Each structure stands twice: as C-alpha cells, then as structure tokens.
Amino acid sequence: MSRAWERCVPVFDIPILTRPFVALCTLGAVACGLVLYREAAGLGAASGMNDAYAWGIWKTFNIMALTGLGSGGFSIGIATWLFGRRSLHSVMRTAVLSSFLIYASGLMLLGIDVGRPWNFLWILAPWRWNVHSPMLEVGFCMPLYTAVPLFLEATPPVLEWIHSRWPELESTAEMAESLLKRIYPWVLGLAFLLPAMHQSSLGALMLLAGNQVHPLWQTPWLPLLYVWAASFMGFAFVSVVLMVCHLVWNRSLDEDVLREMSRITAWLIATWLIFRFADLAMRGRLHLAVQISAPSALFWMEILLLLSAALMLAVASKRHNVRLAFQGSILAALGGLMYRFDPTTLAFQPRAGAFYFPTFIELLIDIGFLSLTVATFSLLAKVLPILPASTRLWRAMESARWNKSVLHPQQAEYTHYAAAD
C-alpha cells in the first residue's frame, strides 16, 4: 500500500472540539485577560524586565528564538523551489501554516511588549526611518513578510476549501486562484528574500550591544549564523510537527520525504557547526570555550545538542529510522532555540548584579499565546487540506462525506480509513 504523500488532506475523521483543544483555548483566554492587565498596569507590574535586562522573553524567546522554528516556509521553500527538491512540495503547506502562526503570535507579543505602540504608525512614513537600524529592518520586514508573502502562500488551501464548500462562491474562488497563480513566482521571491533579511537582522540586533554579549557569541558573523540557524530550525521543526500530527491523528508517514528532510537538516547543522568553530578560531576566542565557566557550559550545551542532532539525523536518514529522525529533529530545534536565545539573555551581561527572570504573568501570557498557536493549527489542519497524505485517503474522505450526506445523515462517527493504509 502506498504511503507516499501525494496530496494534502484535512484531518476529517477527528472532531474539532476535543478536550486538549478546549484546554488550549482556555489558556489563550487567560492570556488575553492578562494582556489587559499589562496594558493598564504597565510593563513593570506585569513583567520581570528592568533597566538592565530591558528585553524579556516576549522578545528574546518568541521573536529572537522561536521565529527560527517558524522558518520552515523559508528554508523548506528554498529547497523546494530554488533547489528543485520536488518531494518536499508535499510538506510546504504544513511549513507555511506553522511559520505563519509562529510569526503572527510573535508579532502580537511584540505589540504587547513595546511601551508606546501608537508611534509604530511611523513605519508608514519613510522619511522618519533610521535606515541603518537593524531594529527598523526587523520592524518593517517581519510584519511585511507575515502579511504579504506568507499570507498569500497560505491562501490556496482556504480557496480550495471555499471552492468545495460553497458552490455559489466557486467562480470567485477560481478567479482568486488564477490571480494567485499569476503572481506566485514573485510572491515566492519575497517569501525567500524577506526572511533572509530579517532573520539575519535579528542577529545584527545584538551586534550593537557590543561587548555586553559574551565573546563566545558576539561576532561580526552573528547575522549569518542567525539566518543559517533559522534554516535548519525550520526543517527540524516541520519534521517534528509532521511526525507529531501524524502520530496523534493516526496517519501514515512518508519515510522518503522525512529522510530527505533529515539529510538536509544534518548537512545544514554540520556546516553551521564548522562555521561557528572556524569563526571562534579566527577571532582567537576558542580558549574561552575550554575554560570552566557558566558561558562555556552554555556554549557546550548548544554544541552538544546540535552535534548529536546532526549525527542522529545523518544516521536516521541512512538507516530509515523514523524514531531517530524524530529525536534528532527535536534536539536540532532545541539547540537552535538555545543558540538564538543565549546572546540576548543568558550570555548577555549588561553589568554585575543585573538579574532577569520572567514573572508568572509574563510566562502565562507567553504560554497562552503559544497555546492559541497550537489550537489554531489543529483547527485549521482539521478543516483545510494542510497535512500531506495519500490520494487514497483523499478518496476515503470524499466517500465518507458522501455517505454522511446521502446515506446516513445522522451518522456522526466516521470509519477510520487511515489505519487501512
């Protein structure tokens, strides 16, 4: 029986309202309430931020680190469209949707984090721009990427859904689709250019902090290392998302596609590691890594996570081992997160005695927004054709719908077809 991912199929055989879904939405609602408190009481009352550690986890984790995991649309897209890896086309919808949701939630947290958000309207006034500020590049490029190329890349499943559900909107959906087809190559161009710009600018943000960032991290190559890390983090995260979804919703995995992803991730990490050590050696900072100190321990944790991830993924792709690929991808995602988070907080030393730890409210808001991200993903994966599957499953879905509507209008439960695959 074919297990190949040929077509994206909604998770049609699982109800939307499950207990975990309700729990995630509740956490999201709590977070929204706490956001009102933060807006009324000020940042100091809601968060652990202070004048020395002026950035908290909303920026340092959700923007600086987590958007790396949200770079699947960027890095898998490049492999698919620029390097002709056709087999990866099947996972693009998962990549694009996860990227869109992570970026959107990060940008919302950024809106909560800034103190004078009304002045952000100056982004529409180019004569006000400080064109050389990496912060301007991020502030302009990240919302633009989310709102235009990433949004447009994510619309085809919605148009298909409208097309299949509302016969009266059929011609409108088709018109939108043909328009989208015409501009798609240009949209894709932006979808690769803009993340390359802002993901590297995230690294450039920390350049201006100068020697407050520990020399094991502070390097003129920080922008390149950041965007490179984003590329393997995107691959690793989309692998994890696919494997978790297919495990939870009981669908079959296309091992060839996963192997291809593992192989590329392993190569990206290996070259990144070599580059990082070469940079340290060239700057003459390798001796800092062999000292016994907190920063060097942190450094080796990152290196060990990524090194073991690269090895596990390489072996997994050679030996067709899905379990190992899953573990390796998780380690790669964690290692990437750590690398991108450390220069902003743990390896950022503004001055002696400075301390930051997120407050309970800050954490709850963060967890709430992440919960909403997961809930939205699961909702959309059940409604829209996002997750890849076989053509056979698509036909099973169509006949189940037909049965339900024509033969058994009262039948609520579907037969599980995926298991027969």
Partner 1 sequence: MEITRRHLLGSMAKGAATVFAAGGVSSVALADESRAKEKQEASQTAIAMLYDATLCVGCQSCVSACAQANNLTPDKRLDTLHQSPRDLSDTTKNVVKLYKPADGTPYSYIKQQCMHCVDPACAAACLFKALKKETGTGIVTWNPGLCVGCRYCQIVCSYHIPKFQWRGVNPRIVKCEFCKERLARGDDPACTSVCPTHAVVFGKRTSLLAEAKLRIAKSPGKYYEERVFGEREGGGTQVLYLTKASFEKLGLPKLGNEPIPAKYLKWQKRMYSYLLIPAALYAVIVSITRKSWNRHEEHLKEEEKATGLRPQL
Name which of residues 57 to 86 contact partner 1 (CB under 8 A). 81-84, 86
Among 3, 4, 87, 133, binds partner 1 (CB under 8 A): 133
Query: Smallest distance, Å, CB 112 to partner 1?
Result: 11
Look at residues 329, 226, 260 and name the one whose alpha carbon lies nearest to residue 79: 260
* Burial annotation 300-320 (CB, 10 A radius, 16+ → b, else e): eebbebbbbbbbbbbebbeee
Residue 323 identity? R
Among 8, 269, 309, 393, binds partner 1 (CB under 8 A): 8
Query: Smallest distance, Å, CB 18 to partner 1?
Result: 26
* Burial annotation 230-244 (CB, 10 A radius, 16+ → b, else e): bbbbbbbbbbbbbbe
Task: Measure Cα distances from 400 to 17, 128, 313, 387, 411 in Å.
Answer: 20, 57, 38, 18, 10
Among 49, 236, 280, 333, binds partner 1 (CB under 8 A): 49
Position 135 contacts partner 1 (CB under 8 A): yes
Look at residues 213, 225, 230, 223 and name the one whose alpha carbon lies nearest to residue 345: 213
Q: Which is nearer to partner 1, 85 or 404 (CB)?
A: 85
Token duo for residue 224: 């390149």
Among 17, 19, 36, 51, binds partner 1 (CB under 8 A): 51
Q: Which is nearer to partner 1, 192 or 267 (CB)?
A: 192
Among 137, 260, 302, 342, binds partner 1 (CB under 8 A): 137
Query: Smallest distance, Å, CB 132 to partner 1?
Result: 5
Q: Which is nearer to partner 1, 28 or 203 (CB)?
A: 203
Among 4, 87, 89, 162, binds partner 1 (CB under 8 A): 89
**Window 292-331: residues binding partner 1 (CB under 8 A):** none
Q: What are phi and psi of 388, to 5 degrees?
A: -75, 145
Task: Measure Cα distances from 131 to 137, 138, 201, 304, 368 in Å.
Answer: 8, 11, 12, 38, 34
**Window 17-46: residues binding partner 1 (CB under 8 A):** 39-45
Q: Which is nearer to partner 1, 21 or 263 (CB)?
A: 263
Task: Measure Cα distances from 97 to 22, 216, 362 in Å.
Answer: 21, 34, 26
Among 68, 72, 106, 139, binds partner 1 (CB under 8 A): 139
Q: Which is nearer to partner 1, 151 or 192 (CB)?
A: 192
Q: Which is nearer to partner 1, 84 or 409 (CB)?
A: 84
E-strand ranges in 250-398 read 388-389
Size of site (CB under 8 A) for partner 1 = 74
Give the span between the Cα atoms of 225 and 58, in whole angstroms: 21
**Window 332-371: residues binding partner 1 (CB under 8 A):** 350-351
**Window 372-391: residues binding partner 1 (CB under 8 A):** 385, 391
* HEC-encoded secondary structure of 20-56: HHHHHHHHHHHHHHHHHHHHHHCHHHHCCCCCCCCCC
Q: What are phi and psi of 54, to 5 degrees?
A: -75, -10
Token duo for residue 244: 């978790």
Look at residues 335, 340, 302, 299 and name the one whose alpha carbon lies nearest to residue 63: 340
**Window 112-131: residues binding partner 1 (CB under 8 A):** 113-117, 119-120, 122, 128-131
Give the span between the Cα atoms of 24 and 373, in whole angstroms: 9
Query: Smallest distance, Å, CB 417 to partner 1?
Result: 16
**Window 158-217: residues binding partner 1 (CB under 8 A):** 160, 163, 177, 180-181, 184-186, 188-190, 192-193, 196-197, 201, 204-205, 207-212
Position 399 contacts partner 1 (CB under 8 A): no
Q: Which is nearer to partner 1, 8 or 333 (CB)?
A: 8
**Window 221-250: residues binding partner 1 (CB under 8 A):** 223
Task: Measure Cα distances from 271 to 32, 264, 397 in Å.
Answer: 41, 11, 43
- Work out the angle between the directed axes of helices 255-282 and 222-248 (0-180°, nearest 10): 160
Position 148 contacts partner 1 (CB under 8 A): no
Give the span between the Cα atoms of 136 and 405, in whole angstroms: 53
Q: Which is nearer to partner 1, 185 or 409 (CB)?
A: 185
Query: Smallest distance, Å, CB 60 to partner 1?
Result: 10
Query: Smallest distance, Å, CB 181 to partner 1?
Result: 7
